[in-house]
Chain A
């Protein structure tokens, strides 16, 4: 019970502090909206929040799924081949170093009008790097004895990968996925905010800005935080199922 109450208590405390700070300073809501301003904003746009929230969510998830697949392919290639690792690393690091905000207008122009594709693309581009790196590091640091134990029995490379290398890399993979999921959200919203006539929570944020509806903008931020938390904990649950053995806290 204490487990469940701790985060609820923390959130209530945070909201109270926020409300109090705005009240004490007597800030107008264009400077800082208070939690009590948010609920009317949510209620007024409840259908938009639901439909746009869904838009943002599915694009983020699709982008993330593509990032996982591409990240796995790069990670496996770099994990097993030193030449590929040395060759691809600078390229990937360089690609990752480019701020994705600068890529957004380029992509928006490249596939003009294809809002879904653009958004998924940015979500993917921003989030695949940590996955590729963690998988490649996990595979390349596999102790040689692990490989030898199966190789000595005549196991194929694929068997070694499937039975040992892959499961052993899962904890690193899920660690990276937790980073990637928040990154993917950032990517989705970047595109949604920038695209004209966009959809999704980012677009709702943008319309709040153009209409000077400050409580709405804050409400969107809160909605994004809620979606982020939800998706993060989905990953945590998956991690518990597939890589729960790496958790030693109970021992």
Chain B
């Protein structure tokens, strides 16, 4: 049973979901199944608007599927749980709080036995890890986009969540900043292992960060293709430019093409 819990740390089984909109029903997920092992890292890619973000909301317990179920650590997800941390493309920092207070926000919500000094220390440690030492007292508006996203990552991790959900967190950043943040992600993961799900439309990002890449079909989305990565854990950016990485990229690109062609044909 314990091993079952570890191989299926996150488990999505036979999930179908339809949104009711003003113009009618919009099926977004169709019999989607997915599982992520403990401390694994899965990247989900697919055509835009195919329901990737819906998957993150399901895992976070913000949304309950019409059909099928979601399990975390073997327990069904019925409502949000504080073992989850989230970061979005928009860093959604609170403009009226300092960076430090922003990072500490989850500790004000999640029940914990930390003293206020310990909470602050925890936030300071994380900020140091992502290279934001010295910016604790700044307001979010005084930071660059990349720095804001780093702070957002710290906030997602401050309460030591076992599961980290990233919904295109680096999508709005320039290429160099993005590569810096990819490295930061590996450092964070090495320091404090977590089980990760990354939604992205950047295939290079997916193969650089993930242990496994899942390609979703066009809407309504189902699991179309899975690709295990050869590497585990930290790797250097140079590895993105090896022939093997090129090969993987090509396979994934072909899969995305197929997904886009099939879009709308299934209903």
B-binding residues in A (CB < 8 A): 143, 145-146, 148-155, 159, 163-164, 167-168, 170, 243, 245-246, 248, 251
- CA–CA, A153 and B109, complex, Å: 7
Q: Which residues of B contact A155 (CB under 8 A)?
A: 109
Asked whether, in the complex, the Cβ of B94 is within 8 Å of the Cβ of A167, the reply is yes
Question: Which of A145, A150, A152: most chain B Cβ within 10 A?
Answer: A152
Residue in chain B with minimal CB distance to A246: B95
Which residues of B (57-92) have their CB < 8 Å from a CB of A?
Answer: 57, 60-62, 79-82, 84-86, 88, 90, 92
- Is B92 touching A152 in the complex (CB atoms < 8 A)? no
Most chain A beta-carbon contacts within 10 A, residue among B86, B88, B95, B109: B109
Please indicate the chain A residues that have their CB under 8 angstroms from the CB of B79 in the complex. 154
Collect the chain A residues with CB atoms within 8 Å of residue B105's CB: 149-150, 163
How far, in whole Å, are A45 and B152 apart by their CA atoms in the complex?
Answer: 62
A171 smallest CB distance to B (angstroms): 9
A interface secondary structure, majority? helix
B90 touches A152 (CB 8 A): no
CB distance from A142 to the nearest CB of B (A): 10
In the bound complex, do residue B141 and residue A251 qualify as a contact, i.e. CB atoms below 8 Å apart? Answer: yes
Given contacts A148-B86, A153-B109, A163-B108, 7 further A-B contacts (CB under 8 A): A143-B92, A148-B88, A149-B86, A149-B155, A152-B60, A152-B85, A154-B109
Contact yes or no, A152 B139, CB < 8 A: no
Q: From residue A227, how far is it (CB to closest CB) to chain B in Å?
A: 31
- Evaluate contact between B62 and A151: CB separation under 8 angstroms: yes
Residues of A with C-beta under 8 A to B86: 148-149, 152
A154 to B105, CA, bound (A): 13
Would you call B88 and A159 a contact (CB within 8 A)?
A: no
A-contact 0/1 string along B165-182, CB 8 Å cutoff: 000000000000000000
Q: Which residues of B contact A154 (CB under 8 A)?
A: 79-82, 109-110
Interface on B for A, CB 8 Å cutoff?
Answer: 57, 60-62, 79-82, 84-86, 88, 90, 92, 94-96, 105-106, 108-110, 139, 141-142, 155, 159
Q: Which residues in A have their C-beta under 8 angstroms from that of B159?
A: 153
Nearest residue, chain A, Cβ from B155? A149
Distance in Å: Cβ of B155 to nearest Cβ of chain A: 8
Question: A153, B110: Cβ atoms under 8 Å?
Answer: yes
List B contacts of A167 (CB < 8 A): 94, 96
Task: Note all chain A residues with C-beta closer than 8 A to B108.
Answer: 163
B61 A152 Cβ-Cβ under 8 A: yes
A145 adjacent to B96 (CB under 8 Å): no
What is the CA–CA distance of A167 and B62 in the complex, to the nearest angstrom? 23
Q: Which residues of B contact A170 (CB under 8 A)?
A: 96
Complex CA gap A151/B90 in Å reads: 16
Residues of chain B with a CB closer than 8 A to A150's CB: 105, 109
Chain B nearest CB, measured from A166 CB (Å):
10
Is B92 in contact with A146, judged by CB distance below 8 angstroms? yes
Most buried by A among B94, B96, B106: B96
Indicate if the CB atoms of A145 and B92 lie closer than 8 Å: yes
- B164 CB, nearest partner CB in chain A, Å: 11
Residues in B whose Cβ lies below 8 Å from that of A148: 57, 60, 62, 86, 88
Could you tell me the distance in whole angstroms from the C-beta of B228 to the nearest C-beta in chain A?
29
Among B92, B94, B109, which residue has its beta carbon within 8 angstroms of that of A159? Answer: B109
- Residues of chain A within 8 A (CB-CB) of B84 are 152-153
Give chain B nearest CB distance to A110 CB in angstroms: 43
Is B94 a contact of A152 with CB atoms below 8 Å? no
Contacts of A151 in B (CB 8 A): 62, 80
Residues from chain B with Cβ under 8 Å of A152 in the complex: 60-62, 80, 84-86
B90 x A143 contact (CB < 8 A) = yes
Q: How far in angstroms is the closest Cβ of chain B from A147?
A: 9
- The CA of A146 and the CA of B92, in the complex, are separated in Å by 6
Which residues in A have their C-beta under 8 angstroms from that of B62? Answer: 148, 151-152
Q: Smallest distance from the beta carbon of A102 to chain B beta carbons, Å?
A: 39
Which residues of B are found within 8 Å of A149, using beta-carbon distances?
A: 86, 88, 92, 105, 155
Q: Which residue of chain A has its CB nearest to the CB of B107?
A: A153
Q: Jot down 16 A-B pairs with beta carbons below 8 A, ordered by A.
A: A143-B92, A148-B60, A149-B155, A150-B105, A151-B62, A152-B80, A152-B86, A153-B84, A154-B80, A163-B94, A168-B96, A245-B95, A245-B96, A246-B95, A246-B96, A251-B142
* A245 CB, min distance to chain B CBs, angstroms: 4
Chain B residue numbers with a CB within 8 Å of A145 are: 88, 90, 92
Chain B contacts for A243, CB-based, 8 A: 96
What is the bound-complex CA distance between A248 and B140, given in angstroms?
12
B61: A residues at CB distance < 8 A: 152
